[in-house]
Amino acid sequence: MRCPYCQHDDSKVLDTSHDSHGGIRRRRECLKCGQRFSSYERPILATPLIIKQDGAREEFDREKLARGIRISCAKRPVSASDIERMIGQVETQLQKLGKAEVSSRVVGDLVINGLKEMDQIAYIRYAIVYLGLDDLHALRNEIDRLLEG
């Protein structure tokens, strides 16, 4: 691993820890300058192409997904780690499908189910766009469903 401080190619591993998503965090020390730094390794699994409603296909974009979820959770008591965990879960679910292409609807369903469990206001914000709740009656019906369940 190349040192980010002096660009030397050799370092020693001081500590290794694993996270719940299969990633590995390594604490390292450069053998030349003695600076310490961390590296993070995670397996690269293929995510499927996303088939949009108009039939266009695009690469799965983790940052695009994160933006949509963060907008829904804005000014809500949802931690950044909860959002990252949810994004990781959606990405993992897509990879586990083992398909080359999936509908954007699958991604939306995973997100909306995650938000429903995490924060109901964020869920409603996302549902307005995702489910196309375009009038107050549709919105009220969705809120009533939440209150019943």
| Range 79-116 burial, b when 16+ CB lie within 10 A, else e | eeeebeebbbbbbebbbeeeeeebebebbbebbeebbb
pLDDT, greater one: 20 or 89: 89
Domain boundaries, the chain: 11-41, 49-148
Q: How far apart are CA 72 and CA 126, in angstroms?
A: 6
Tokens read off for 105: 């609807």
pLDDT band at 40 (very low <50, low <70, confident <90, very high): confident
Confidence (pLDDT) at 72: 95
Tokens read off for 144: 């009533």
In the block, tokens 């107050």 appear at: 136
pLDDT band at 149 (very low <50, low <70, confident <90, very high): confident
Contact 28, 11 (CB under 8 A): yes
Neighbouring residues of 37: CB distance < 8 A, sequence distance ≥ 6 = 3, 4, 5, 11, 28, 30
What pTM, to 2 d.p., does this model score? 0.67
pLDDT in tens, 88-112: 999 989 998 989 999 999 999 999 9
Secondary structure (3-state) at 28: strand
